[in-house]
Amino acid sequence: MQTFDLSVDARHPLLDSNLPKRMEFPPSGRMTSLLADPPGRAVVQVLRWLPYDRVTGWHDQVTYFYGADGRWRSLVMSELGLDPTTWAGPDTTWSGSLSPNGRYWAFPTSVDPPATLGSRWGPVAVMDLSTAKYTFYSPDDGRRTTVNPQWTSATTLAFDWKQRGHDRRAVVDVVTGETRHVNPSFSPQLRNLTYQRDGSAVTVNRPAKMEDGPGLLVTYSPVLRKVAETAVPFPLPGNQWEPVALAANRIAFATPKVQTDGTTTGSPGLIVTSRDLEPQAVLTERNGRDPWFWLAWLNDDYLIFHATGSHRRIERVFAWHPERHELYQLTEIVPTSDTSDLVIVDIVASAVRVRSARQNRTASPSWTAAHGPLGHVPRAFG
């Protein structure tokens, strides 16, 4: 088991990559609008978590994109033609996500249940970052609450909506516009699926407490039929939102408490196993905080994760090599103004290129296209 200090003042060697070593937020200097100068593909999406008492509508929300060309773009959400009197709320699930190849960005425009500035109905929007064209997808007549967009592949998107009190799911091909309805027997775990390259998906049914025994790794077919259920051979407490990451030959689990091979700790940790769930490596956080916002495998070698600082809201992205027992800092996001706001980060792991580990340089202690016409294409399906 490896224990690392992920606090704001800890220093770690830098992993040299195509990401900037330090990202100021909001990005300093002059930048262009994404709508006027689309990046083609994005590597990073960053936005600030805002509370209701500081927001009057979509025009207060700005999202920033770091393009594959190494330049930042900004997007004021009201520029997408959204109702200026509404807003999807501060929940991080609305913030959207970049597709696995970085070309598309998807986000919901409604919340469930609707909040003070929320709209009861709203479509899922998908923007092509090579053209800045965006499309609204909505079931039936559009009067549905669409939530939880998840990329199932580089060009297919799944999202949920409610119909007669029941959860439903749709999958859309964002290139052809072809859609299909998937009507599984929904459970809360299906809201946090991790998709594999063949379109199948996995989730973990976790016990509420460590003493409740092991969790279950559940595998679903592309149409969300349960095809396998495997007991995890070690306690894996947590909730349905604890992230899971899949590599070709390994799985990574996040948990607020670690217990494997008879070793117990009260600290949050990451557990890496083989695909048959044999534990291979464990990383724990020395200060007992639970920093895991998301996990992703980089080249099946490095596990990257986003950790938040305990103060100054400096965010860091780490890269852990379980086999070599090495932890590196990939980048840090530093606020340019005095703020306690949470910064939400989404990184396209497949777009990150690692060059080398810079063992002699330490991170700062103050931490982590083709131009096209603007337009959107409303689309409904029934």
Using one digit for the tens of pLDDT, what is the confidence trace for 104-114? 999 887 654 44
In angstroms, the CA 72 to CA 77 distance is: 16
What is the CB neighbour count within 10 angstroms for residue 192?
18
What value does the mean pLDDT take over residues 336-344?
64
Count the neighbouring beta carbons within 10 Å of the beta carbon of residue 185. Answer: 10
Tokens of 332: 């840090």
Phi, psi (degrees; rounded to nearest 5) at 164: 50, 40
Mean pLDDT throughout 277-285? 86
* Better-predicted residue by pLDDT, 241 or 80: 80
Whether the predicted model's global pTM rises above the 0.85 cut:
no
Task: Evaluate whether 302 touches 295 at the Cβ level (below 8 Å).
Answer: no
Residue 233, preceding bond cis, omega within 30 degrees? no
The answer to whether residue 189 scores a pLDDT higher than 90 is no
Please provide the size of the chain in residues.
Answer: 382
Q: Which pLDDT value is given to residue 359?
A: 47
CA 256, CA 214: separation in Å to the nearest integer? 14
* Residues 6 or more apart in contact with residue 193 via CB below 8 angstroms: 150, 201, 202, 203, 220
Q: Encode burial over 66-100: b for 16+ CB neighbours within 10 A, e otherwise.
A: bbbeeebbbbebbbbebeeebbbbbeebbbbbbbb
Amino acid identity of residue 142, one-letter, is: G
223 has pLDDT over 70 = yes
What is the bridge-based pairing of β-strands 295-298 and 166-173? unpaired
Across residues 218-239, what is the average pLDDT? 81
Map residue 370 onto helix, strand or coil. Answer: coil
Strand-strand pairing, 295-298 and 279-285: unpaired
